[in-house]
Chain A
Amino acid sequence: MIRSTKNFWTGLIYIFFGSSAIVLARDYGMGTATKMGPAYFPSILGGLLIIIGIISLIQSFLQSRTPIGKFAFKGMALVLGSAILFGLLVRHTGMIVALPLLILISAYGSNDFKWGTSILMAIGLTLFCIVVFLKGLGIPLPIIGPWFGG
């Protein structure tokens, strides 16, 4: 019976990363203790991580801890999704579309989202970013992208 879901999942994550490191490192050449190859250090670390993961798994059956809190899927999806969407779009549509989208989508994650203020904010921030980052600091992002003939 699992008594600490936190320890259980952390253990699994550590075992996953630890064993991935060891498996991937097999292609790199171990070397010797005197002349360590590229696989040496990561393999040691991977091994340690697996051991810690296993201990954590064992603990999960012995120690009780508060259960994992609820995931805020909506907030997470909107925040991370809007960032990814911005990355996908910005070169094609330019800032003028990608940035307002980022702001509106992420703002939608707030408990009291209002269209009016959010649209105003999107316009203001987009202008600000274009002036400061693109014009002022010369970051090479298009204002209007090729999809809109820019």
Chain B
Amino acid sequence: MDLFHNLAIGLSTAISLANLLYCLIGVFVGTLIGVLPGLGPTATIAMLLPLTFALQPVSALIMLAGIYYGSQYGGSTTSILVNLPGEAASVVTTLDGYQMAKQGRAGVALTASAVGSFFAGTVATFIIAFFAPILSEMALKFGPAEYFSLMVLGLVASVVLAQGSLLHAIGMVILGLLLGLVGTDVTSGTQRFNFGIPDLADGIGFVVVAMGMFGLTEITRNLEQQESRTIMAKITTLMPTKEDWKRMIAPILRGTAIGSAVGILPGSGSILGSFAAYSLEKKVSKNSAQFGKGAIEGVAAPESANNAGAQTSFIPMLTLGIPSNPVMALMIGAMIIQGIQPGPSVITEQPVLFWGIIASMWVGNLFLVILNLPLIGIWVRMIMIPYKHLYPAILAFCCIGVFSLKNTEFDIFFMALFGFLGYIFSKLECEPAPMLLAFILGPMMEEYLRRAMLLSRGNPLVFIQRPISATLLTLALLAMLAVLLPSFRKTREELKE
């Protein structure tokens, strides 16, 4: 069968010695940043991106992907042990995970999380392998109008899930699109919005924006509220009882299904999946009374879901060249830097790269189980590193990393500017994630809009006359309307609490 043949190609790439090493580095760094306070995958990948220029494209992407899904594992460790979510996606795990830890069952919670994540990761790998070729094939038929509408849908989805006011999130998207247009206009060669600064001829680097708004802004915000971390729980046994295993199976299956499905949606990634899986479990479980008091289901389900979602969120990126979250936007940037044009043709033109990344995810998940269960002791010590010792190092790496992009200190100043903007926007409760997505998509959207309008001889109705494009726009409209519904609004606000 094709699927297995393709996975075999991928696996043979992924288990070459060099790629195994980069995969291991990726998941190690991922777990590390998941465990360490105040450093998320977006800032880390932005920081490490310049270092991957020298690598083979497939190795670079394997490593960066490993950082992302690895951070999901690490994030749950801190949720369980110190009641602080390492990553946004592991917020719900604190509810029952930390309770379990308080009852002396921290090890069991960690195992439930790791086993669930591993199972979900394995299933998600197959889902990607199965759906990606189908989607790519479909996407090859897309014209400029469809691409434009798809991007609109992606941006709308990111807005729907953003925190704070919907109106402001839309504003952030438009601002992001505008900032993305700075630099040389591809079609006419005109220099736009560059204020005569030659360094802006190629536009503002997306790594600069990401490091500013996610790296520096986060540091400044964390300095406002310095937390102290104490581990309440000791890890005694990692082994769940027979009863625990029985209770875990169904939640893991359901969590995987929800997480995978939600992860594919543009704009969501892993966060929504974990919330959805937890609330579903709470509704259907026989033990729903125990939720919030240390129910193993409340750890297994969201942990499976966030890992599945983290992986399936690669699907739109790999098949359509459209990022579903800021991390995927950075992956697209990494591909472009490596000279690969992201989009549906990647699968046919770069099969080794494509299947190599997918197969490496399964290998990476295997590494992660080993890293997170037998070697848990290392991470427990890492959790205790105080933030005040970390952030000067993060800042130093950001400055050197951003300099190395084009060997110009100009980028450091721009990073600081975006750090400032990001801080202001965070005070105004305007989320930076939709802006970064729009920033990447800006120039592409303009190109597709131009081409679509050229083909239709200036008739804007083309976007609703072509069926696929019309469907995508309808979905975007429905998503937008759904936010305005009072019931959805309520859940959206509850999710963010």
Which of B51, B175, B424 is A17 in contact with, Cβ under 8 Å?
A: B175
CA distance A72 to B216 in the complex (A): 13
CA distance A139 to B415 in the complex (A): 18
Whether B458 and A34, one on each chain, are in contact in the complex, defined by CB atoms closer than 8 angstroms, is yes
CA distance A112 to B223 in the complex (A): 11
B165-197 residues at the A interface, CB under 8 angstroms? 165, 167-168, 170-171, 174-175, 177-178, 181, 185, 187-188, 190, 192-193
CA distance A103 to B394 in the complex (A): 10
CA distance A5 to B187 in the complex (A): 41
Whether A80 and B400, one on each chain, are in contact in the complex, defined by CB atoms closer than 8 angstroms, is no
| Nearest chain B residue, comparing its CB with the CB of A52 | B171
Q: What is the distance, in angstroms, from A21's C-beta to the closest C-beta of chain B?
A: 5
Whether A83 and B430, one on each chain, are in contact in the complex, defined by CB atoms closer than 8 angstroms, is no
CA distance A111 to B226 in the complex (A): 8
Q: What is the distance, in angstroms, from A130's C-beta to the closest C-beta of chain B?
A: 10
Contact status of A29 and B395, CB under 8 A, knowing A36-B453, A46-B178, A110-B223: no
Which of B388, B391, B395, B409 is A88 in contact with, Cβ under 8 Å?
A: B409
Which of A79, A102, A137 is B419 in contact with, Cβ under 8 Å?
A: A79
Contact status of A76 and B453, CB under 8 A, knowing A25-B192, A83-B399, A139-B404: no
Contacts of B188 in A (CB 8 A): 28-29, 37-38
Q: Is the interface of A mostly helix, strand, loop or mixed?
A: helix
B433-449 residues at the A interface, CB under 8 angstroms? 445-446, 449
Most buried by B among A59, A86, A129, A140: A86
Residue A7 lies at the interface, judged by CB distance under 8 Å to chain B: yes
Residue B423 lies at the interface, judged by CB distance under 8 Å to chain A: yes
Q: What is the distance, in angstroms, from A96's C-beta to the closest C-beta of chain B?
A: 13
CA distance A117 to B54 in the complex (A): 35
Contact status of A56 and B168, CB under 8 A, knowing A75-B220, A91-B409, A125-B392: yes
Residue B39 lies at the interface, judged by CB distance under 8 Å to chain A: no
Whether B413 and A139, one on each chain, are in contact in the complex, defined by CB atoms closer than 8 angstroms, is no
Residue B396 lies at the interface, judged by CB distance under 8 Å to chain A: yes
A10-35 residues at the B interface, CB under 8 angstroms? 10, 13-14, 17-18, 21, 24-25, 28-29, 32-35
B372-414 residues at the A interface, CB under 8 angstroms? 388-389, 391-393, 395-400, 403-404, 407, 409-410, 412-413
Whether B398 and A83, one on each chain, are in contact in the complex, defined by CB atoms closer than 8 angstroms, is yes
CA distance A10 to B55 in the complex (A): 42
A63-86 residues at the B interface, CB under 8 angstroms? 68-69, 71-72, 75-76, 79-80, 82-84, 86
CA distance A107 to B412 in the complex (A): 18
Whether A84 and B416, one on each chain, are in contact in the complex, defined by CB atoms closer than 8 angstroms, is yes
CA distance A125 to B398 in the complex (A): 13
Residue A94 lies at the interface, judged by CB distance under 8 Å to chain B: no
Q: What is the distance, in angstroms, from A83's C-beta to the closest C-beta of chain B?
A: 5
Residue A93 lies at the interface, judged by CB distance under 8 Å to chain B: no
| Nearest chain B residue, comparing its CB with the CB of A99 | B396
Contacts of A76 in B (CB 8 A): 220, 420, 423
Contact status of A33 and B460, CB under 8 A, knowing A75-B220, A84-B416: yes
CA distance A69 to B424 in the complex (A): 10
Contacts of A141 in B (CB 8 A): 400, 403
CA distance A55 to B170 in the complex (A): 12
CA distance A42 to B446 in the complex (A): 9
Whether A79 and B395, one on each chain, are in contact in the complex, defined by CB atoms closer than 8 angstroms, is yes
CA distance A3 to B259 in the complex (A): 39
CA distance A44 to B234 in the complex (A): 58
Residue B428 lies at the interface, judged by CB distance under 8 Å to chain A: yes
Contact status of A139 and B190, CB under 8 A, knowing A17-B175, A49-B174, A68-B427: no
Contact status of A48 and B427, CB under 8 A, knowing A25-B192, A80-B416, A80-B419: no
Contacts of A29 in B (CB 8 A): 188, 190
Whether B395 and A75, one on each chain, are in contact in the complex, defined by CB atoms closer than 8 angstroms, is no
Which of A9, A10, A72 is B224 in contact with, Cβ under 8 Å?
A: A72
Q: What is the distance, in angstroms, from B412's C-beta to the closest C-beta of chain A?
A: 4
B301-346 residues at the A interface, CB under 8 angstroms? none
Interface residues of A (CB under 8 A from B): 6-7, 9-10, 13-14, 17-18, 21, 24-25, 28-29, 32-38, 41-42, 45-46, 48-49, 52-53, 55-56, 59, 68-69, 71-72, 75-76, 79-80, 82-84, 86-88, 90-91, 99, 102-103, 106-107, 109-113, 117-118, 121-122, 125, 129, 133, 137, 139-141
Besides A21-B193, A141-B403, 7 other A-B contacts (C-beta < 8 A): A36-B453, A79-B223, A83-B415, A86-B399, A90-B409, A103-B395, A139-B407
CB<8 Å pairs between A and B, sample of 20: A13-B428, A24-B192, A34-B454, A34-B458, A41-B450, A42-B192, A46-B178, A49-B171, A53-B171, A71-B427, A76-B420, A79-B220, A83-B412, A84-B416, A87-B413, A91-B409, A99-B396, A103-B392, A110-B226, A121-B392
Interface residues of B (CB under 8 A from A): 51, 54, 165, 167-168, 170-171, 174-175, 177-178, 181, 185, 187-188, 190, 192-193, 216, 219-220, 223-224, 226, 388-389, 391-393, 395-400, 403-404, 407, 409-410, 412-413, 415-416, 419-420, 423-424, 427-430, 445-446, 449-450, 453-454, 457-458, 460
- Going nearest first, the 4 A-B pairs with the smallest beta carbon separation are A87-B412, A34-B458, A75-B223, A33-B458
